[in-house]
Structure 1
């Protein structure tokens, strides 16, 4: 839509993909009205969107993430209990190794 607001949407490109500057603002405005669904001279254009397979996968992953919990509540509760009992052990070498791996990404 932003392209049509500026008057240089896909419909304003010439046969070789260059901008057709011979078209006036009123003509571009008329196209914008037709694209939004208004009938002009009996012609009605329908817009369609097709997602690539990668975009479809991202959309599905987003849905799955929105439906799942952002963290493992049972694990958080277990660690809280260990901390409150003074039994939570921190393996500093493991923490250091994970930090090193993260930094080399």
Structure 2
């Protein structure tokens, strides 16, 4: 089972779930031993995250602003194509296609 905590999703909450179940069971046993007063006030649930979660969030935000395209290289290739100086290395392309095909067959 996964949960979302402050925008962080996909983390397993198995240990949290077990802790909550244990706390619920302990609370149920207290209720039966002490009457209904143990459950008259709902228990507050708290989750404490380390600084790692905040660092991951900051890193993700900074990476989102980074361009995945090298605009300078794109402009160089455009210019090379326009002036007719762009050279196609068909052997390199063939080698890359073969390597891709081999990787897909694994």
Alignment TM-score, normalising by the size of structure 1 = 0.47
Higher helix share: 2
